[in-house]
Amino acid sequence: MNKIAIEGIGMTSRRTRERLIERLMEQGISNYQVLELIRSTPRHMFLDEALSHRAYEDVALPIGYNQTISQPYIVARMTEILMGGAKKLGNVLEIGTGCGYQTAILSRLSDQVLSVERIRPLQEKARKRLSTLKCYNVQLRHADGGFGWPAKGPFDAILSAAAPREVPSELLPQLADGGRLVTPIGDERKQHLVLVTREGDEYTEQVLEQVNFVPFLSGTVR
Ligand code: SAH
């Protein structure tokens, strides 16, 4: 992948990205590390060519199989929530790799990212992009993320990019003591971001802003 492909030109240029960062700051994203990563991660590479000119608009866009790449604001917000006051994330579980954009952002902030996706062809495309961007601390798995990835836990941070009706109970014991889990919760009509923190055997749930995610589905697609 050459420099122009990664840095982008025209609608994917540095100036266009700069405007996105300004917009995210106006919307209240304040974590400097997160903003810097949104600036430096080539979102246009995660989209089909026909849509890449829209990569730095703050919107979700289709990635095929009825799924969408998350809106930059949401990626920034969820990452910021997971970080809390920390500088680094440690061992991270992501559910819903999708195109791999959020995965790439997480990989730069973590020791390791374990990411699960139920739709195989999306996962395969994500794998290629993450390798092009040298995200070597990422492992991908084709599975139903409702079961987490117990063999790789416990996780300091868990992020779900799809909305279940309630926090999947299998995930809670995979959260490390002091760990943070962020997920949208709800149905097609109404969803909220929820932050679950663990202290010993005590789990505390905080309901945050209203959001709009694709549903968390069970089973896998080949
Ligand atoms: N952050 C991703 C979001 C993709 S949309 C991106 O920006 O591309 C959410 C993804 O979650 C979809 O790819 C969907 O297939 C996946 N998903 C939904 N339910 C899942 C489950 N139970 N296990 C694993 N992946 C799931």
Probe ligand 1: pick from 103, 142, 170, 217, max atoms within 8 Å of CB? 217
pLDDT tens for 141-193 read: 999 999 999 999 999 999 999 999 999 999 999 999 999 999 999 999 999 99
Q: Answer yes or no: 70 catalytic.
A: yes
Which tens digit of pLDDT belongs to each residue from 49-75? 999 999 999 999 999 999 999 999 999
What is the separation of C-alpha 221 from the centre of its chain, rounded to a whole number of angstroms?
20
Distance 124 CA to ligand 1 centre (A): 13
The model's pTM is 0.97
Query: Ligand 1: does its nearest atom lie under 6 Å from the Cβ of 96?
Result: yes
71 Cβ closer than 6 Å to some ligand 1 atom: no
> Which amino acid residue places its CA nearest to atom 14 of ligand 1?
96
pLDDT tens string 100-138: 999 999 999 999 999 999 999 999 999 999 999 999 999
Neighbours of 218 (CB within 10 A): 11
Active-site hit among 13, 30, 70, 131: 70
CA 96 – ligand 1 centroid, Å = 3
